[in-house]
Amino acid sequence: MTDSLSGEVLPYGNIIIKELNEGTATDNRGYYLFAGLSESNLYTIVVSYGGYLDKEIKTRVLAREATLLNIQLTPVSLELQTIEKVAQRIDGDKKSDVSVHTFNIKGLETIPQGVETDILRSIQELPGVTTTSDVSAKYYVRGGSNSQNLVLLNDAAIYNPFHALGMFSAVDPEIINSVDFYKGGFPTEYSGRVSSVLDLISKYGNKNRFSGSTSLSLLTTKASFEGPIPGGSFIVTGRKSVSNEVLKNFYNDNNVPVDFYDWSFNLNYSNNKLWKDAKFVVHGFFTNDKIVNDEPLKADYSWKNAVYGISYFQFLDSPLFYKLSLTTSNFEGEVIPKLSSIKPKKNEVIDFTYKADFTYVYPSKDILDVGLKINNVNTTMRLQNSFGELADLSTRGARVNWSIYGKYQLLRFNNLGLEVGTRLNFISLASGGYDRNPFEPRFRVTYRINPAIKIQASVGVFLQELTTLSDEDEVITLFEPWVILPDYMSATRSTHYISGIDFNLTENWTFNAEGYYKKTTNVPLLNAAKVFPQTMI
């Protein structure tokens, strides 16, 4: 489902088959699927999305093949001050959405902001998410640490998603199309963190015409340019800090010599003559932060991200979906003490990840997902402890995690949905391994008691082999160095137990409540008082 003017995908739109009174929603990439429909029947498809005209389409299902229906919706001309309703998912009767918040970029604009729209500061407004202060964009989910949160941009991990001493997000909302935020109990396709997952999907760009925009705030200037290419579209965005005056409001009127920029691009291509029902996407994301103090008694700091990726999506008539993706995410950070008492640090992370995801939809509406992930990580870390001893916590050569995962979604019943799956890590990043238990079983269930009441539950095990060397009590964080856990430590393990209930009080009012229990073991902490550098963690 796409915008008729720009061709941009519309995530979480509502789609109903009138004759069957059944509905679903588009996913975060605008795709949707109805399974188990009678062959050769004529159906009326009703499509709706907040801020767009509703649309009715007649279509006939063909025998023994998938019927593809590309839907374009026309935006409504909205007057100033009009309140826009953001599309809501309507397939929650069977698919579990416990501890999940899904919204598009327009949904972010409805959340209270600071200097400008900011993704990380926005999710702090959600229940179960806290922060150290109003100054920081760092967030903590249900008792977990900041390093236990996974931030993904188009399937690529971002190791430092912060600008300006951790006060703002490094991801410009201008390029984001949809946001999935899991506060716990996330599905088997996500791994590597034990607390939460923030999954960001970027825009594809305008497929019909060239356009651009610029804007200026008290903190940054930004620009974007997008347009069509043969068989697809592109979008490029950039942002640069222009003034530090507004930062004084966050830093007790002290001058903060922050200088940062970020830029990104996304290019997509499809050609049914060469590859039927396939799409290629190439994307990149880059940030750079510097703090350069004029005074020699104050340290200088620098950190940057460089993310690249390519993905291939294919739809077959089975119906079978599969997606292949290759991403690399690099992070570099350094503390330059000069004549100050600050200890020097230098950190580098090189992450190379390959993923293959396959989804098969049965005529009964059940769904089988299987996948493979190969994660190659190398970390370099050099620092001094409180006694001035030099420590080298770098990995000796690249480490590789191999994992396979799968889940089965039982969706054939009207009011009941079950999701059962697991991950198997048969090669680990950390030599300490997984305490002889490489499995991450996960279970989710949803049951609708009646049209107004739905109950949900989730149980899962999650593993993490990377950690940051930082003080979680710090209000201002310059950057957080990442390391693979040392050989004498096992992977951090967390078990989540979550249950919730949703009440649809009226058409416009919904009440939901959740309870959770989370047990986390093997949590690493930095001990800077250790004399011997090899035992600093």
Q: What is the DSSP letter of 10?
A: -
The pLDDT of residue 536 is 44
Q: Which pLDDT band holds residue 85 (cuts at 50, 70, 90)?
A: very low
CA 393 to chain centroid: 28
pTM for this one? 0.88
Decide if 30 is inside a domain.
yes
**Domain harbouring 17, CATH code:** 2.60.40.1120
**Domain harbouring 218, CATH code:** 2.40.170.20
Which one of 26, 55, 83 terminates a domain?
83
User: In angstroms, rounded to a whole number, what is the distance separating the alpha carbons of residues 487 and 417?
Assistant: 41
The pLDDT of residue 161 is 92
Q: Which of 49-58, 300-309, 380-389 has the lowest mean pLDDT?
A: 380-389
User: In angstroms, rounded to a whole number, what is the distance separating the alpha carbons of residues 382 and 536?
Assistant: 12
Tell me the backbone φ, ψ of residue 166, rounded to 5 degrees: 80, 15
Decide if 360 is inside a domain.
yes
Decide if 123 is inside a domain.
no
Q: Which pLDDT band holds residue 82 (cuts at 50, 70, 90)?
A: very low
CA 403 to chain centroid: 20
The pLDDT of residue 251 is 65
% of residues, the chain, pLDDT over 90: 39
Decide if 101 is inside a domain.
no
Task: Check whether 460 has a pLDDT greater than 60.
Answer: yes
Residues 248 and 384 in one domain: yes
User: In angstroms, rounded to a whole number, what is the distance separating the alpha carbons of residues 3 and 45?
Assistant: 17
Number of domains in the chain: 2
User: In angstroms, rounded to a whole number, what is the distance separating the alpha carbons of residues 217 and 240?
Assistant: 11
Q: Which of 71-85, 186-200, 362-376 has the lowest mean pLDDT?
A: 71-85
Decide if 210 is inside a domain.
yes
**Is the model more confident about 65 or about 513?**
513
* DSSP-assigned beta bridge partners for residue 284: 265, 308
Q: Which residues of 196-221 are buried (b: 16+ CB within 10 A; e: fewer)?
A: bbbbbbbbbbbbeeeeeeeeeeebbe
Would you tell me how many other CB atoms lie within 10 Å of the CB of residue 310? 16
Burial of 148 (0-12, 13-18, 19+ CB in 10 A): buried
- Domain range for 10 is 1-83
Q: Which pLDDT band holds residue 425 (cuts at 50, 70, 90)?
A: very high
Which one of 31, 66, 83 terminates a domain?
83
Q: Which of 3-12, 242-251, 284-293 has the lowest mean pLDDT?
A: 242-251
Task: Check whether 90 has a pLDDT greater than 50.
Answer: no
Task: Check whether 191 has a pLDDT greater than 50.
Answer: yes
Decide if 157 is inside a domain.
no
Residue range 429-459, pLDDT digits in tens: 877 667 678 899 999 999 999 888 999 999 9
Decide if 329 is inside a domain.
yes
Residues 79 and 209 in one domain: no
Tokens describing residue 491 = 């992977």
The pLDDT of residue 531 is 58
| DSSP character string of 277-302 | TEEEEEEEEEEEEEE--SSTTS-EEE
User: In angstroms, rounded to a whole number, what is the distance separating the alpha carbons of residues 53 and 48?
Assistant: 7
Q: Give the amino acid at 333.
A: G
Task: Check whether 473 has a pLDDT greater than 90.
Answer: no
Task: Check whether 40 has a pLDDT greater than 80.
Answer: no
Residues 79 and 219 in one domain: no
Residues 322 and 471 in one domain: yes
Which one of 83, 98, 123 terminates a domain?
83
Decide if 362 is inside a domain.
yes
Q: Tell me the chain's radius of gyration from C-alpha atoms.
A: 24
Tell me the backbone φ, ψ of residue 148, rounded to 5 degrees: -90, 5
Instruction: For residues 193-215, give the mean pLDDT.
Output: 92
Burial of 380 (0-12, 13-18, 19+ CB in 10 A): middle
Find, among 28, 93, 32, the residue nearest to 451 by Cα: 93
Cα end-to-end distance, the chain, whole Å: 50
Residue range 211-244, pLDDT digits in tens: 999 988 878 899 999 999 999 999 999 999 887 7
Task: Check whether 109 has a pLDDT greater than 70.
Answer: no
* Average pLDDT of every residue of the chain: 83
**DSSP three-state, residue 464:** strand
Residues 339 and 488 in one domain: yes
Task: Check whether 472 has a pLDDT greater than 60.
Answer: no
